[in-house]
């Protein structure tokens, strides 16, 4: 383990758990005040930064940066597209899709934001509810993950650095600072935010599982049931994380996606099918149309606190999860180009998420409009039971409710699994071959934290830890912005230094190259080259050659006005922001940077 990271992170985690449990009632009020301070004080920064991450991701995908491969130039992706998507989707959204699938659109429909200026439970509120939900779970959420995931995949698989968040800033700060206290602090913040974020989500997952079983009338929730559920799920997560990414987590993710697809198809076919498909098309169009307007909305004149409770909460929540999800999708994305990575991570989950929320959220809104039975007795949406209430109005309600509970459990396991794997990699300084003992330590600790919060602290401690994980996004948002600047610096150097290959064909017969050059009015300098090897000539006697062409900035070239001689100023050329550093690690030796520094092997005659 890396003691300057592992020990401080563990101390902070245990200290905050003790504070949340011992001073539960007072801590809840204090952290609610902290949440308001964050929303009112830095909410504008969260909104500006999140939109900036979308611009960063799209620029990397559409520019020449997108041609860079996250690994060696000849490397193929480790996982198939289907398995890759299933794993990143399970880790990135997980329990939240099931937890909020019905509840969030229904909440926005019943109580829309004041800034939107639409009446609740109206047609306009229904359309706006879906736009807001897709806004919170669409491009902005995944662009935050892209920043971390893309940077880590590039630095590790392209440049051979350890798989750790700190190395995102090496092009900006240099290796010495990154390996010192600054780098340790970055990784500690990432570990603390990740563990609290995952543990809090596990707590919400357990609440929904118990609410589903209680809704079916099968159990009465007590502490022993909570302990049994957490113990069982933690055991599955521990077994999976010990098995490794290519076995346990891959299998669980694929099974989970199949179950989720089965539930969605069931509701689509036996629910209001035509309404859902019409709504999906309209929701996509409404989201794209409203995106520019919502992207920078801070609602300074509104007094309902909606932006802080929803949008700012979500942006802080995604940022607190960014080390976890970003590192995980980096781990499973080796061999893909930056363009494949960006558009795969941005567009595919956004598209599928829009269909999921349309199926469940749209059906919930329609049910409320027609029957009016989707709200609790107090007229408020019950997040824990809204999904089961919707399924209760469809055929085979018991079967589908059990299927929904199984999906939550599998999402629970994959989140705990991938979360503990990422934390373990961070705590060992980026070592991807982490010891089994530390993997088990983090997996069990997540389960213990969730159990303690539910049994001892109750909902108050969940609020405390949720706010604490969001608060870690305040310093980490600055790290993410600096990471964008740092990565652009590295990407631009690689684009400038990367050779461009062209084919030059000479089909002018036996006429010397110099003569052809003078005839065309240019200076030809290709004379004297040896003939291509046998079998390399093209049709009609054309002779083909391949050259590596490097772009040179205009300011680095000077031309003598008398002789026409061209001089290249090396000092004005692009400089490597990573400084040509060499690491004595297996990851470096297997990366593109490490391979380029290997001595050339003689060809076998």
As a three-state string, the secondary structure of 516-529 is: HHHHCCCCCCCCCC
Distance of CA 479 to the CA centre of its chain: 15
Of residues 320 and 254, more confidently modeled: 320
Tell the residue number behind the tokens 């934001």, with chain if given: 113
Cα torsion 584, 587, 588, 593 to 10°: value is 170
* Range with top average pLDDT, 277-286, 320-329, 404-413: 277-286
Q: How far apart are the first and last CA of the chain?
A: 47
137-146, 478-487, 576-585, 592-601: lowest mean pLDDT where? Answer: 592-601
User: Please, are residues 462 and 200 in contact by the beta-carbon 8 Å criterion?
Assistant: yes
Band of the pLDDT at 471, cuts 50, 70, 90?
A: confident
What angle, rounded to 10 degrees, do the helices at 24-62 and 3-22 form?
140
Of residues 564 and 495, more confidently modeled: 495
Q: Which two tokens stand for residue 118?
A: 């639409």
Q: Which two tokens stand for residue 94?
A: 């997980």
pLDDT for the residue 514: 46
pLDDT for the residue 129: 97
**Among candidate residues 270, 259, 257, 530, the one with its CA nearest the CA of residue 390:** 270
**Distances, alpha carbon 527 to alpha carbons 170, 514, 523, 534, in Å:** 45, 7, 11, 19
Average pLDDT over residues 265-275: 95
Average pLDDT over residues 580-597: 87
Band of the pLDDT at 56, cuts 50, 70, 90?
A: very high
User: Please, are residues 335 and 77 in contact by the beta-carbon 8 Å criterion?
Assistant: yes
pLDDT for the residue 309: 83
Q: Which two tokens stand for residue 280?
A: 């999906």
**Distances, alpha carbon 283 to alpha carbons 54, 89, 297, 353, in Å:** 20, 21, 19, 11
Band of the pLDDT at 408, cuts 50, 70, 90?
A: confident
pLDDT for the residue 434: 79
Number of helices (H) and strands (E) in the chain: give both, helices first.
Answer: 25, 4
Of residues 226 and 92, more confidently modeled: 226
Burial bucket for residue 159 (CB in 10 Å: 0-12, 13-18, 19+): buried
Tell the residue number behind the tokens 């060696």, with chain if given: 72
Band of the pLDDT at 523, cuts 50, 70, 90?
A: very low
Q: Is the dihedral of CA 360, 361, 367, 372 positive or negative?
A: positive
User: Please, are residues 56 and 483 in contact by the beta-carbon 8 Å criterion?
Assistant: no
How many Å apart are CA 306 and CA 300, to the nearest integer? 11
How many Å apart are CA 73 and CA 134, to the nearest integer? 36
Of residues 247 and 266, more confidently modeled: 266
pLDDT for the residue 383: 84
The helix/strand/coil state of 559 is strand
pLDDT for the residue 505: 55
Tell the residue number behind the tokens 């200076």, with chain if given: 523
User: Please, are residues 443 and 417 in contact by the beta-carbon 8 Å criterion?
Assistant: yes
User: Please, are residues 174 and 185 in contact by the beta-carbon 8 Å criterion?
Assistant: no
**Statement: residue 125 has pLDDT above 70:** yes
Q: Which two tokens stand for residue 40?
A: 């009112």
124-138, 177-191, 292-306, 536-550: lowest mean pLDDT where? Answer: 536-550
**Distances, alpha carbon 427 to alpha carbons 249, 321, 418, in Å:** 20, 16, 14
Q: Which two tokens stand for residue 222?
A: 């007590």
How many Å apart are CA 169 and CA 482, to the nearest integer? 7
User: Please, are residues 380 and 374 in contact by the beta-carbon 8 Å criterion?
Assistant: no
Average model confidence (pLDDT) for the chain?
A: 83
How many Å apart are CA 337 and CA 334, to the nearest integer? 9
Average pLDDT over residues 424-438: 83
How many Å apart are CA 62 and CA 51, to the nearest integer? 17
pLDDT for the residue 386: 93
Beta-bridge mates of residue 401: none
Q: Which two tokens stand for residue 283?
A: 């929701």
**Statement: residue 192 has pLDDT above 80:** yes
**Statement: residue 74 has pLDDT above 90:** no
pLDDT for the residue 303: 84
Tell me what percent of the residues of the chain surpass a pLDDT of 70: 83
Average pLDDT over residues 434-438: 83
Strands (E), 265-373: none
CB neighbours of residue 169 within 10 Å: 22
How many Å apart are CA 570 and CA 497, to the nearest integer? 13
Phi, psi of 422 (to 5 degrees): -65, -45
Task: For Cα atoms 572, 166, 237, give the angle at the middle one, nearest 5 degrees.
Answer: 145
Tell the residue number behind the tokens 């030059």, with chain if given: 504
How many Å apart are CA 131 and CA 283, to the nearest integer? 6
How many Å apart are CA 261 and CA 558, to the nearest integer? 62
Band of the pLDDT at 221, cuts 50, 70, 90?
A: confident
**Statement: residue 604 has pLDDT above 50:** no
How many Å apart are CA 422 and CA 190, to the nearest integer? 10
44-53, 79-88, 235-244, 503-512: lowest mean pLDDT where? Answer: 503-512
User: What long-range pairs does 106-112 form, CB within 8 A, spacing at least 24?
Assistant: 106/361, 106/364, 106/365, 106/368, 106/374, 106/375, 106/381, 106/386, 107/381, 108/132, 108/133, 109/365, 109/368, 110/368, 110/375, 110/379, 110/381
**Statement: residue 169 has pLDDT above 60:** yes
Average pLDDT over residues 471-494: 92
The helix/strand/coil state of 435 is coil
């Amino acid at each position: 383990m890396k003691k300057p990271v592992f020990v401080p992170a563990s101390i902070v985690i245990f200290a905050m758990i003790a504070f949340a449990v011992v001073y539960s009632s007072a801590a809840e009020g204090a952290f609610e005040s902290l949440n308001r301070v964050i929303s009112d004080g830095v909410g504008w920064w969260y909104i500006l930064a999140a939109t900036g991450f979308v611009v960063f991701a799209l620029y990397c995908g559409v520019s020449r940066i997108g041609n860079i491969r996250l690994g060696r130039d000849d490397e193929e992706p480790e996982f198939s597209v289907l398995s890759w998507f299933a794993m990143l989707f399970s880790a990135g959204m997980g329990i939240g899709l099931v937890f909020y699938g019905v509840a969030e659109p229904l909440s926005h429909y019943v109580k829309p934001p004041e800034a939107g200026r639409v009446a609740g439970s109206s047609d306009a509120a229904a359309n706006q509810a879906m736009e807001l939900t897709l806004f919170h779970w669409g491009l902005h959420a995944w662009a935050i993950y892209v920043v971390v995931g893309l940077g880590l995949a590039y630095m590790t698989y392209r440049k051979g650095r350890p798989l750790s968040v700190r190395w995102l800033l090496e092009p900006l700060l240099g290796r010495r600072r990154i390996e010192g206290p600054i780098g340790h602090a970055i990784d500690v913040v990432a570990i603390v935010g990740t563990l609290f974020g995952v543990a809090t989500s596990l707590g919400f997952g357990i609440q929904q599982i118990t609410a589903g079983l209680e809704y079916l009338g099968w159990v009465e929730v007590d502490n022993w049931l909570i302990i049994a559920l957490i113990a069982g799920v933690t055991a599955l997560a521990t077994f999976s994380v010990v098995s490794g990414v290519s076995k346990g987590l891959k299998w669980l993710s694929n099974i989970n996606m199949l179950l989720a697809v089965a539930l969605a198809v069931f509701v689509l076919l036996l629910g209001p099918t035509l309404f859902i498909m019409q709504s999906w098309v309209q929701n996509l169009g409404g989201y794209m149309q409203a995106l520019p307007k919502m992207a920078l909305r801070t609602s300074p004149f509104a007094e309902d606190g909606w932006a802080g409770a929803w949008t700012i909460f979500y942006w802080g929540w995604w940022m607190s999860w960014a080390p976890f999800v970003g590192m995980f999708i980096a781990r499973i994305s080796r061999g893909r180009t930056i363009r494949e990575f960006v558009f795969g991570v941005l567009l595919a989950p956004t598209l599928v998420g829009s269909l999921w929320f349309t199926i469940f959220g749209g059906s919930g809104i329609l049910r409320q409009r027609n029957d009016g039975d989707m709200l609790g007795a107090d007229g408020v949406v019950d997040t824990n039971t809204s999904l089961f209430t919707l399924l209760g109005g469809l055929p085979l309600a018991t079967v589908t409710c059990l299927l929904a509970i199984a999906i939550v459990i599998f999402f629970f396991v994959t989140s705990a699994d991938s979360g503990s794997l990422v934390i373990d990699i961070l705590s060992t300084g980026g070592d991807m071959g982490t010891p089994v003992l530390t993997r088990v330590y983090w997996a069990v600790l997540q389960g213990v934290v969730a159990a303690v919060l539910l049994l001892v602290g109750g909902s108050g401690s969940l609020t405390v830890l949720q706010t604490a994980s969001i608060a870690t996004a305040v310093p980490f948002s600055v790290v993410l912005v600096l990471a964008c600047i740092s990565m652009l610096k590295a990407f631009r150097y690689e684009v400038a230094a990367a050779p461009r290959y062209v084919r030059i064909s000479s089909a002018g017969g036996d006429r010397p190259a110099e003569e052809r050059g003078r005839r065309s009015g240019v200076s030809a300098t290709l004379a004297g080259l040896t003939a291509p090897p046998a079998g390399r000539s093209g049709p009609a006697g054309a002779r083909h050659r391949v050259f590596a062409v490097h772009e040179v900035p205009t300011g680095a070239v000077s031309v003598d006005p008398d002789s026409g001689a061209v001089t290249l100023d090396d000092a004005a050329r692009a400089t490597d922001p990573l400084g040509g550093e060499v690491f004595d690690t297996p990851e470096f030796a297997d990366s593109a940077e490490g391979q380029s520094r290997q001595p050339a092997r003689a060809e076998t005659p």
